[in-house]
Amino acid sequence: MGLFNWFTQEIAMDLGTANTLIIHNDEVAVNEPSIVALNRNNPKEVLAVGKRALMMHEKTHESIRTVRPLKDGVIADFNAAELMIRELIKLVYPKKPLFPPSWRMMICIPSSITEVEKRAVRDSAEQAGAKEVYLIHEPMAAALGIGIDVEEPVGNMIIDIGGGTTGITVIALAGIVCDQSIRIAGDEFTADIMEALRRYHSLLIGERTAEQIKIQVGAAMKDLENPPDDIPVNGRDLVTGIPKQIMVSFQEIAEALDKSIFKIEEAILKALEQTPPELAGDIYRRGLYLTGGGALLRGLDKRLSQKIKLPVHIADDPLKSVVRGTGIALKNYDRYPFVMR
């Protein structure tokens, strides 16, 4: 057993719709977009993965295709997911080791996932070379990563705005008490921005440009304390068909995202309605915790706390809190009852 342990390496993985993060030896070893570029003539041949594949996205010719294997937080393309996981694990060890280690892997999954989807995650990890696969629900991992003591009898509300789904979860006693999941998150925000520019400026832009706009001037409110500058956006004019450039301000983006953020607010209110009264009292005292990439949207915490009239805290590093929590759970995988074997 001792020899086997020596060859067993542990990795914690946050397999997200937009980004995949891997923790190995307590540090984030891989932080890449969840996208893979494949050769159309030989679908098993990976041309690029992560940032390099993202640079190819929407710029390919007919013999290359770029795939985002995850949709709405679950695996949509099984083969691409397996190839992507395998390539990303290779990035943990840039130099090829003499004896390839056997992996003990912990992967976090959305709490609204079905058994079939759970099986798909487990199978792709095993196909990619994992000997043992443990699963953990994302809100649990997020709570551990934020630094909440999940085992105490106190209610905490975690709002995880990812790429494909927004999960709103109340956690107490190391379990999930109630849970709302809606498919409105980062991808939906990106689509809203593309639609708004098409409608108001008759400008066609791609997914990557919309994503850049969201990162640089994305906002949830029209009045921010320190607003970002307007940015130039290039695209194709729908009327003339000629490439053109326009300036985009954060107010326009705030207006474009308004409907989607409103739906997130509704879901939070719905989750609060289902919360048992004792836990609701705890949440009133402690406030809500925002995590995931969507938490970086400017003014979102302020807008939510105005609507719900409770304090809203953003996690320290919202993009990495889930994978950090997964790493903590992997270290103590036999201690925590919520880890799925």
Q: Which residues are annotated as a binding site for ATP?
A: 17-19, 163-165, 211-214, 293-296
Write out the binding residues.
Answer: 17-19, 163-165, 211-214, 293-296
Instruction: Produce one character per residue of 209-245: b if its CB has 16 or more CB atoms within 10 Å, e if not.
Output: bbbbbbeebbbbbeeeeebeeeeebebeeeeeeeeee
Task: Give me the sign of the Cα torsion angle 249, 20, 138, 335.
Answer: negative
Is 288 in contact with 294 (CB distance < 8 Å)? Answer: no
Cα-based distances in Å from 196 to 114, 204, 205, 244: 34, 10, 10, 16
Q: Which residues pair with 248 in a beta bridge?
A: 231
Instruction: Count Cβ atoms below 10 Å from residue 68 Cβ, excluding itself.
Output: 23
Structure tokens at 197: 């520019």
Task: State the Cα–Cα distance between residues 238 and 244, nearest whole angstrom.
Answer: 10
What CA–CA distance (Å, rounded) separates 334 from 149? Answer: 17
- 3 by Cβ neighbours in 10 Å (0-12 / 13-18 / 19+) ranks as exposed
